[in-house]
Chains A and B, each alone.
Chain A
Amino acid sequence: MNIFGELSKLYDEIDTLYAAKEFDARARGFARKEAEWRRKRELNDHAYFLFMFTRLEDRIREQSSKLIDRKQTALRNWKARSVWDILPKEKDSAGIHFRNRVALLTEKGSTDYNLIMAYYKLRNTIAHGGDFITPISIPYVLNDMERLHKVLKS
């Protein structure tokens, strides 16, 4: 099982448990408890989103770095190589913005590019002190991230 499969299983276990508790509180008429469990589910969604995004981000960094390294090594003509030579090949280098790394792997403005950018924006909102108010549907996100992880290659 790959990492997304593992995350999916773990997420489902926790969300199922919390949802059952939310339902139980509702059935008993405990409105505040119900709201608490709903909030826990929302926070859980955000946590798993961030976790999944880090896996995708790592993949993008790894593949874009491989591509840059390959081009720097393989292109003999310095004019053709020059545009690659100015890019850092290290995976963790801050010398190339994340959006540009994505643009090396999928066409800028394409559906996948826009999807990744939307997730990147959401990731930044959550990671930099956002209010956790965006509803995130993890099953869709999981499908997207798993697919993108597979298709984004150098």
Chain B
Amino acid sequence: MEDNALSKEHLINHIEDWKKRILDLYSNIGEWVKDDRQYSVKTTRTVRMYEEYMQKFDIEPQNLPAADILKNGKLILSVKPFGLWVTGANGRLDILSEKGSLILSDTSDRFQKPQWRIFSPKNRGKGIVFTKDYLLGLLKQK
């Protein structure tokens, strides 16, 4: 983002939008897994957000929810916000597991409908659209 196009108000709006997109994403994830009783989603734990722009414009740190996906009560995946103002994405989260990390990025333009894509070490290019089928496939591997 160009510094001269920024204002505190703009940044706050962007943060609020980010929070909403995250919550909507977790809501979708909850919907996708609800038919299989083995799985449950918890969003009780948070991650601190205090990026460079926030410090520059004196915006208070924010606590963003992380989503833990459990299988029969055991944590198997954790979806954690990584950053909003990240090069190449309109926000990024990490999907962590015992095998490492996948990148979940919103590739939409600012304030547009989210387009979530998964990027893995073997697929750094265009990524894969993050869908219910993709998530269920990932969960089956755990």
Residues in chain A within 8 A of chain B (CB atoms): 8, 12, 15-17, 19-20, 22-24, 26-27, 118, 131, 133-137, 139-144
Contact = CB atoms under 8 A, between A and B. Distances in A.
A27 B119 CA distance: 23
B51 A133 contact: yes
B100 A16 contact: yes
Given A19-B100, A23-B78, A26-B75, A136 B52 contact: no
B97 to A, nearest CB: 6
Given A135-B85, A135-B86, A137-B105, A20 B98 contact: yes
A143 B125 contact: yes
- Among A15, A23, A144, chain B packs the most CB atoms within 10 A around the CB of A23
A26 B78 contact: yes
Contacts, number: 79
Contacts of A23: 75, 78, 96-98, 100
Main secondary structure on A side of the interface with B: helix
B52 A16 contact: no
19 contacts: A16-B101, A19-B100, A20-B97, A20-B99, A22-B96, A23-B96, A23-B97, A26-B68, A118-B87, A131-B52, A131-B55, A133-B52, A135-B83, A136-B86, A137-B86, A137-B92, A139-B124, A140-B86, A140-B88
B134 interface: no
A118 B55 CA distance: 18
Interface string B54-91: 01000000000000100000110010001101111100
Contacts of A22: 96
Contact of B124 (A15, A134, A142): A142
A32 B50 CA distance: 18
B121 interface: yes
Given A137-B82, A140-B88, A15 B103 contact: no
A19 B125 CA distance: 21
Given A26-B78, A137-B83, A143-B88, 9 more contacts: A20-B97, A131-B55, A135-B85, A135-B86, A135-B92, A137-B103, A137-B105, A140-B87, A143-B125
Contacts of B51: 133-135
A140 B82 CA distance: 14
Contacts of A131: 52, 55
Nearest to B94: A19
Contacts of A144: 87-88
Contact of B87 (A15, A24, A137): A137
Nearest to B66: A26
Given A19-B96, A23-B98, A27-B75, A137 B50 contact: no
B75 to A, nearest CB: 4
B119 A135 contact: no
A98 to B, nearest CB: 19
